[in-house]
Amino acid sequence: MTRPVLTAEPTNGWLRAADARVADLDALLDSAVGGASGPDTPIAARVECGIPVYEAVTLAAADRAEVQAELAAVLADGAGVLAITGAVPVPAVDRATAVFEQLIAEQRRTGAGAGDHFARPGANDRIWNALEKLALADPAAFAGYYAADTLALVSEAWLGPGYQMTSQVNVVNPGGAPQDPHRDYHLGFMTVEQAQRYPAHVHRLSPALTLQGAVAHSDMPIDSGPTMLLPHSQKYPHGYLVAGHPEFDALFARRHVQLPLRTGDAVFFNPALIHAAGRNRTTDVRRAANLLQVSSAFGRAMEAVDRDRMCRALFPELLRRAPAEVRTVVASAAEGYAFPTNLDLDPPVGGLAPPSQADLLLRAVDERWTPERLDARLDEHRRRR
């Protein structure tokens, strides 16, 4: 099959692979690297490989609105990717890692291997829906991990409140092959033919509905293959239509960058950023990451998560937590948006929307309900919806 010549101009409101040119992406990257575009990053500790690197302790001490404005500007108009050192405390990461290792061992024992989107099935150790599995296996470990305010800070900066957290653990074993360069969910999980059916404005909208992130659960030297990133590539209009094109793959191989990470560090990126997991060239490092896919309240998450079950499992632990931690953990666990619902059975009373599941859980913690009372109210909430 003849490949289309690789421009970047929509045709009558539609983007076509045949109109994409590698030279346009190359010129866009040259312009960005040359400093002709992109926001200032005064809160960043440094810029490494063109990527702003922040320190979690600095972010916590700075004005929240200013921090979130800067982070959002980086994700939209800057490099499209940022790193945060110390994003999740190492003890919390280590406790969660112990749970994940048990889950992986059980998957191996039962032969329940997980497939992969952009790598050969079975090449890596995967845990799908690690969010729910961690909450049910060890509620205290979940609460300690997702109490990290950095996760809420970045999620709210890009998506606003009511976001939906999901996570998938990926362990790339020594010798593990790299992924193919790609964008992520939504349009990134479609064929070129499917993505071309969506008008150009949807290609621009889709990245605003999801935030991609990864928390390092092991030290990740460059040889272990941390994520290969193409800063500023989220600005390329045709980026959803060129995955797998040889000329594009060659550009990615030539221009991508990688950041080494330590346990507890995190990277967050615009899902339209072109990226791929790297090759693990070591003989002794199992590169482990908790991949966070955070969805807007106004979008559809990729994974189906039983948040009702999570709320019940986490409630006793939430009663032992400080209010600020409770809010952050609930944001990662419960459904924070009131819709969709059955408005005949669940009408808005005293406001524009009925209470969300998160509203109910927060009230239960604030009023120190018994687990039995919460169970009854969650049952009622689910019936109405």
Q: What is the pLDDT of residue 124?
A: 81
Instruction: Report which residue type is found at 159.
Output: L
Please state which of the ranges 119-133, 287-301, 330-344 shows the lowest mean pLDDT. Answer: 119-133
pTM of the full predicted structure? 0.93
Q: Would you tell me how many other CB atoms lie within 10 Å of the CB of residue 155?
A: 25
Torsion of Cα atoms, 252 then 291 then 209 then 314, to 10°: 180
- In whole angstroms, how large is the CA radius of gyration of the chain? 21
What is the distance between the alpha carbons of residues 169 and 186, in angstroms, rounded to a whole number? 19
Judged against a pLDDT cut of 50, whether residue 1 lies above it is answered with no
Q: HEC string of 348-360?
A: CCCCCCCCCHHHH
Find, among 79, 89, 93, 92, the residue nearest to 44 by Cα: 79
Residue range 146-195, pLDDT digits in tens: 999 999 999 999 999 999 999 999 999 999 999 999 999 999 999 999 99
Contact 76, 269 (CB under 8 A): no
Judged against a pLDDT cut of 70, whether residue 118 lies above it is answered with no
Q: Which tokens is 225 given?
A: 């293959």
Judged against a pLDDT cut of 70, whether residue 139 lies above it is answered with yes
Contact 268, 82 (CB under 8 A): yes
Residue range 51-63, pLDDT digits in tens: 999 999 999 999 9
Q: What mean pLDDT value characterizes the chain?
A: 93
- Tell me the helix, strand and coil percentages in the chain, rounded to 5: 45, 15, 45
What are the angstrom distances between the C-alpha of 202 and each of 195, 197, 199? 10, 10, 6
Nearest 5 degrees, angle CA 128-CA 358-CA 376?
100
Which domains occur in the chain, in start order?
Answer: 17-295 (2.60.120.620), 307-384 (no CATH)
